[in-house]
Amino acid sequence: MANLHICSFPVGNRIPSPSAYTVPAIVASSHHSLPPQKPAKLSKWGSHLRSKSFNFVLSGVLSVSLSLAGIGFAEAKVGVNKPELLPKEFTSVIDVAGFLSDGQEKRLAQEIADIEKDTGFKLRLLAQNYPETPGLAIKDFWQVDDRTIVFVADPTFGNIINFNVGDLVDLDVPRSFWSRLAGKYGNLFYWKEKGEDASIEAAVMAISNCLREPVGPNNCSEVK
């Protein structure tokens, strides 16, 4: 399974639960301090964290605080795996929450197909209300890999917009884009006023615009 990291941005500055992940403490001493760990070990720990976090978000744990360093810490929730909630046939849009009309689902599915054809990146959309979610079952259903963006629309924790971003997507799209996208279209005030469907549609179009921009120092600098 490819390493993915979560980009989820709840409203407000909530402190992540210490029960999820605890960063190993580094204690300084003037006389008997231990030698510092090598960067390779920290890198391995960060990779392990992203892999663990991916399982959490697909289990329905969508409340994640993203530090300035780009490391997410997921709050503990009971994992969910309900393959019976998956559709019988493949679709890039799964709406178990009923946020979207049939027409909206078709338009979004077509836009997602166009994105994949034009850019090679795979956007997948899951609309849910935790704990009513297929959860981990979507990993195999969608064959999630390094080129996949999993967009989970769930209002349970305030901000409706949450992401898992594949490593190859991460190379082309700055992480700040996901935070700005969630801040603009996912915040509680926006989707309460406009509707969950409006937030979802606006986010998909913003992702489409971003992925079509030439890669460079200023790509995806604006949420359109």
Write down the pLDDT at residue 209.
97
- For 69, 76, 111, 129, the CA distances from 87, given in Å and listed in that order, are 37, 28, 19, 17
Write down the pLDDT at residue 57.
52
SS3 assignment, position 132: strand
- Return the H-helix or E-strand segment holding 95: strand 93-95
Write down the pLDDT at residue 78.
64
Write down the pLDDT at residue 87.
96
Write down the pLDDT at residue 138.
95
The pLDDT profile of the chain, 224 residues, written as one tens digit per residue, is 454 444 544 333 333 333 332 222 323 333 334 444 444 443 343 344 344 445 545 544 433 323 222 323 334 456 789 999 999 999 999 999 999 999 999 999 999 999 999 999 999 999 999 999 999 999 999 999 999 999 999 999 899 999 999 999 999 999 999 999 999 999 999 999 999 999 999 999 999 999 999 999 899 999 98
Average pLDDT, the chain: 76
Write down the pLDDT at residue 58.
54
Write down the pLDDT at residue 79.
74
Prediction pTM value: 0.72
Q: How far apart are CA 100 and CA 94, in angstroms?
A: 10
Laid out side by side, the sheet with 122-127 consists of 4-8, 161-166, 148-153, 122-127, 93-95
Q: How far apart are CA 217 and CA 9, in angstroms?
A: 23
Q: Which residues have CB under 8 Å from 189's CB, separation 6+?
A: none
Of 174, 196, 176, 175, give the one whose Cα is nearest residue 185.
196
Domains of the chain from N-terminus onward: 1-14+37-219 (3.10.310.50)
